[in-house]
Amino acid sequence: MTWPLPPHLPWPQFLRRLRHPAPPPGWLEAAADLEEVRRRPVLLRWIAQHPRLGAHLRGRLLPTLPWRALASIAQDAAAHPQARQHATERLLALWPGLTPGERRSLAMAAPRQLWPSIWKTRDPRVLEAFLQHPRLGVEALAAMVQPPLDPAQAEALQASRWLEVVPVAHQVLVALDRGLEIPGSGLVLGMASPWIKALPEEERLLAATRLVHPTLRRMVRAWAAPRLPED
């Protein structure tokens, strides 16, 4: 079986065949050499992640792709495992040189291997975008929220959907607690108040047992005490 290429093959049919699971040998390689394909990153992405593409050409195409195409490959379960791995490695190498706007966009679609690098970013807008990542779960976030917590991380967490999640609230309080012991950390007691209030009353006393900073521990215990009805 052989397939023609544009201009002998109409463009709509060509696009469909780029996603075909079993193209003829050498057809993908020939398609990648077309001038129109080389100018379109999305088409090069389809070719680079195709399970039937040779490893040599995949290794040549992936470094030429922009970060958006690489992020799509890294998150696509249907892509060749080697393509996902190489795309992730390439994103890790590109991350330090991305602009703040590019980082914000990538933070919401980054593969898991990039999450620790994103979490270390001190740009609150990047962190806020990352905390909206659809694949970010409670366990993964709690594992990253480690002392000492950075003020930018604390601010982003407070403004996120995670404020009402009990395991995250516990972990944030512990991270704040340890950070308050470090001179020049930039953390203040007031940052703990929203997290204390977010915890159910029965969880506040448990949280207090995990804290070592005297004033913070007293704050949590005070909020854990039953409140008398107002006159």
- For residue 147, the model assigns a pLDDT of 87
- For residue 218, the model assigns a pLDDT of 93
Instruction: Locate the domains of the chain by residue range.
Output: 1-97, 137-226
**Cα(110)–Cα(88) distance, integer angstroms:** 9
Using the 8-state DSSP alphabet, how is residue 228 labeled? P
Half-sphere exposure of 44 (CA within 13 A, CB side): 24
- For residue 148, the model assigns a pLDDT of 82
Task: Give per-10-residue mean pLDDT for the chain (231 aa).
Answer: 90 94 94 95 95 93 95 94 96 96 96 96 95 96 92 95 95 94 90 94 92 94 66 32
- For residue 39, the model assigns a pLDDT of 93
The model's pTM is: 0.85
Q: Which long-range contacts (CB under 8 A, 24 or more apart) does 5-8 make?
A: 5/30, 5/31, 5/34, 6/34, 6/36
Instruction: Please enumerate in sequence order all residues whose Cβ is within 8 A of that of 174, keeping only pairs 6 or more positions apart, or say none.
Output: 147, 210, 211
